[in-house]
A and B are shown apart, each in its own frame.
Chain A
């Protein structure tokens, strides 16, 4: 009764493995991006919602 699923699964292993690889590579790329973010920038970004009335929108720590 279950043989149709098992048969299909064998044929589809390529899809499974490829999909998981695509995700793994994507995840590693995002992690590297995160690793390279600088602390002052992260602090600046996370404070954005709290600064409605603040006019200081000129964050340039790398240029200072």
Chain B
């Protein structure tokens, strides 16, 4: 049999590489802008399109799906072809995949600042873009499996298993978390409400970390690290064990994002148990990576690419140890909603994803351009300012998290809160926020330096768009008579492999999600909880549009420090009409679950015009456009209909008179404001927002007063 000649497609690898660099700079710049806004609110230039609430999802989406996403595709398209000794299945599909993905990113960059958002974290994009993501992801899958089917290497290396698990799990996560009912082209409501929606969102959110930021990067580590160090992986058996254990365990751990919330206790305990177990497979991967370098540590001293890999793997080890620790209820009670979590996430994102991305870029670009890296010295400078950038970013923000949490939980000897004003704790940590933005600037400078270095490298070489290779075609397979290994057989059968991986992730998902989604008694109802009025519903949509949940939570945990500060702790039954839930995950400002009735309408009006009028020193931006923009009531009927379809008990035909009720309630608020010498017509957005804010927590308060009577 003669070897077959074929060509690897390097052009698609190059394209994804360039996209990685460009979107990396964009995503990190947006991150830096919002970091500055936290101590200098005017950095939003006083436009509604650049406030923290709208840019924060843009930052997370750009970094996760544009920077990391493009890097995943670059790494997969490079390594898959070589591990399978075959060109990608279809150049056309590769082309559609590339441009389709960039289209999604551009659509996100336009719609998120415009305020079109579902409010599900890391899944904020509205339904038409969700459909586009599904189509492009399926195209990627067809291209990958097509390549696997026409391969010239019978056995699938461990890196490819990680790619398959990534493909199949991200597909499941994206579809389940995006089940929403469209109201218009740019607006939809999540099908699940309250605690159910929260569980689905954090099952998704946690596993987006697992299967978008972790498994594809582990796959790339298993291919690129042996190439970089020129030695095989430390233990292939360990890679198999930690692969199966990782994908099995990760899927169960989502509820650790909802500890002390109204999620059923057993689901919280399940999340904690599996989170602790997660240390083992995560560290299996880190140890396997670091020990691959055994006997090659002298290379690490000279080779900047290996330096990036070592720091990246160490960051992975730190983040995956810290994650399980943070899921312990006592630690979580202290750390959740604070900057500690932001620090934890950035150790992973900047250290693990960022540094592995840089290492792979520095390794691939010179190779496909058949040249040397333009400047090793610049790469070395990048490594050092990148590392310093991470330290300057995370250390102040850890400090900020500890400080704020301690202050918020401190009581005087008399038993009252020592810092009853939330703002007092915020002002104390502003210097840390300044230092964090210096760390971010350093890190971003390193990336810009890398971009210059790599573009000069491309300029001095020339792209080998089609790289010649040859390999023997696969002979028809005859099963050896004495083959006993199931796993060896499995590695020859990619479709069976995918189905088993799918089953593995479905077991955990099913046990975790199904009881809460289907058993009614898991969510005790509260008789006094009523659907939102049309005006409140519109106000809630404004709250979602502005991304208020980026800074304000809506769930009070059962701690004395929280019930004293905010009011009665939250109950599952309070959220049954909340499509979507708006619990948030970070308190840059105070919780708003019990905001209703705390302040008069006039206070909210003035506070939205300029928060510093009511709270001197506040870092909240002005929302003065609420005062001048007219509320769009053209969709009220459709919104009421959609909510009714989702199970909210609005009476039949109510949509026809909803706007009449809306006007009546709005007029009441406008009249009240007029009594306080505030002249505003009742059709302005501020009226709807005030109506919503004044409703928050009122059902429970009504329940209490009814019980007392």
One digit per residue, 1 when the CB lies within 8 angstroms of any chain B CB and 0 when it does not, for chain A 33-63 equals 1101110011111111110110111111011
Decide yes or no whether B153 CB sits under 8 A from chain A: yes
A9: chain B residues at CB < 8 Å are 265-266, 269
A27: chain B residues at CB < 8 Å are 245, 248
Decide yes or no whether B273 CB sits under 8 A from chain A: yes
User: Which one, B232, B508, B569, contacts A47 given CB within 8 A?
Assistant: B232
A36 CA to B29 CA, complexed, in Å = 51
Decide yes or no whether B687 CB sits under 8 A from chain A: no
Q: Are B265 and A49 in contact (CB under 8 A)?
A: no
A4: chain B residues at CB < 8 Å are 265, 558
Q: Are A45 and B515 in contact (CB under 8 A)?
A: no
Given that A8-B265, A12-B267, A52-B469 are contacting pairs, would A19 and B252 also be in contact in the complex, using a CB cutoff of 8 Å?
A: yes
Q: Which of B309-317, B480-488, B612-620, B665-673 lies at the binding interface? A: B480-488
A16 CA to B466 CA, complexed, in Å = 53
Q: How large is the interface on A (under 10, 10 to 19, 20 to 34, 35 or more residues)?
A: 35 or more
Decide yes or no whether B507 CB sits under 8 A from chain A: yes
Question: In whole Å, how far is B85's beta carbon from the nearest beta carbon of chain A?
Answer: 6
B277: chain A residues at CB < 8 Å are 23
Q: Are B264 and A48 in contact (CB under 8 A)?
A: no
Given that A16-B269, A16-B270 are contacting pairs, would A57 and B484 also be in contact in the complex, using a CB cutoff of 8 Å?
A: no
Decide yes or no whether B398 CB sits under 8 A from chain A: no
Decide yes or no whether B274 CB sits under 8 A from chain A: yes
B298: chain A residues at CB < 8 Å are none
Q: Are B487 and A33 in contact (CB under 8 A)?
A: yes
Q: How large is the interface on B (under 10, 10 to 19, 20 to 34, 35 or more residues)?
A: 35 or more
A12 CA to B271 CA, complexed, in Å = 12
Given that A15-B511, A19-B252, A59-B154 are contacting pairs, would A41 and B488 also be in contact in the complex, using a CB cutoff of 8 Å?
A: yes
Question: In whole Å, how far is B131's beta carbon from the nearest beta carbon of chain A?
Answer: 34
Chain B's closest residue to A31 (CB) is B241
Question: In whole Å, how far is A18's beta carbon from the nearest beta carbon of chain B?
Answer: 7
Q: Are B485 and A33 in contact (CB under 8 A)?
A: yes
Question: In whole Å, how far is A54's beta carbon from the nearest beta carbon of chain B?
Answer: 8
Number of residue pairs spanning A and B whose beta carbons lie under 8 angstroms apart: 137
Given that A55-B470, A57-B472, A62-B480 are contacting pairs, would A34 and B230 also be in contact in the complex, using a CB cutoff of 8 Å?
A: no
A44: chain B residues at CB < 8 Å are 155
Q: Which 3 A/B pairs are nearest by Cβ-Cβ distance?
A: A12-B266, A8-B265, A46-B232
Give me the interface of B with A, judged by CB distance under 8 Å: 3, 79, 82-83, 85, 152-155, 157-159, 222-223, 226-227, 230-233, 236-237, 240-241, 244-245, 248-249, 252, 264-270, 273-274, 277, 469-472, 474-475, 478, 480, 482-488, 491, 504, 507-508, 511, 515, 558, 563, 569
28 contacts between A and B (CB under 8 A): A5-B265, A6-B265, A8-B266, A12-B266, A12-B267, A13-B266, A15-B511, A15-B515, A20-B273, A30-B241, A30-B245, A33-B485, A34-B487, A37-B485, A38-B485, A41-B485, A41-B488, A42-B236, A44-B155, A45-B491, A46-B232, A46-B233, A48-B83, A49-B83, A55-B472, A62-B480, A62-B482, A62-B483
Further pairs besides A6-B265, A27-B245, A41-B485: 20, Cβ < 8 Å: A1-B558, A1-B563, A16-B266, A23-B274, A26-B248, A33-B487, A34-B237, A36-B486, A38-B485, A45-B155, A46-B232, A47-B232, A49-B79, A50-B227, A55-B3, A55-B471, A57-B474, A60-B480, A62-B482, A62-B483
